[in-house]
Amino acid sequence: MFQNIGELMVLFWRTLRELPHAWRQRRKVFDQLFEIGNASLLMACILSLFIGGVLSLQSGPVLVERGLGGVLGSIVGLSMCKELGPVMMSVLIAGRIGSAMAAELGSMKVYQEIDALRTMNISPLRYLVLPRIVAISLALPVLVVFSVLTGWVGGGLVAAFNAQVNLHMTVYFDSLREAVKVGDLVNGLVKSFVFAVVIGVVSCHQGLQTIGGPRGIGRSVTKAVVNSIVLILILDYVLTRLLMNFDKLTP
């Protein structure tokens, strides 16, 4: 485990050193942005719509029974901003994009295409890893913004049309607007950026470490997804704690 953590840190540091060359790889970055962002947008919005709806469906009747139905919008809004939006989108991208990154790089490693790049004096880190990490770091926060907005709408629709809640959309969004601040959205974007870097580094690392043919590629894909999700959940707690302390320090 400690060896893997060390290798991940080394790969991350070497990728940071290659950042000045990102503009030369812009074509690959744009291709990855399309694959990560545009191709995942519909799935992200559908998932978020129902997450917001389930939040409203579960919380609404309980709040109404206690005479607190008017705060439903604030609960859904803050939950989507701070936790469910960043975490669920990161898990989705880890399963959809992280696995694809690991499989693609793993296939190139097994069939010696990466060795061919080194033979031609082309850095695999600069040519393969850098565009993927840059693209996922840009795309995931944007997906989280769409996710949060769609989740708010889903919660509002359920609150308005569920007979047990029967909360007017105006009351719902007024409560949401009063509770959710710009800092709450920034909180979620910071988390999503960190999660994106983790997914990119872990997936690329597993792909580059692939050995053993097609079975090895399958193992690398599984490890990439599982390790990414575990690190996302661990870092979610750490970042939540740090951001809470930061909010206390700010006036």
Could you tell me the mean pLDDT of each successive run of 10 residues in the chain, 251 residues long? 84 87 83 84 90 88 80 88 90 90 89 84 84 91 92 89 80 86 88 93 90 85 92 92 73 52
Q: Is the CB of residue 167 less than 8 Å from the CB of residue 159?
A: yes
Q: How far is the C-alpha of 76 from the C-alpha of 150, rounded, in Å?
A: 11
Residue length of the chain = 251
Q: Where are the domains of the chain?
A: 2-17+25-241
- Cα dist from 227 to 44, 52, 119, 208, whole Å: 21, 27, 31, 15
Residue 251: what pLDDT? 52
Task: Write down the residue that tokens 């629709």 correspond to.
Answer: 157
- Cα dist from 228 to 63, 82, 196, 225, whole Å: 35, 19, 10, 5
Residue 167: what pLDDT? 78
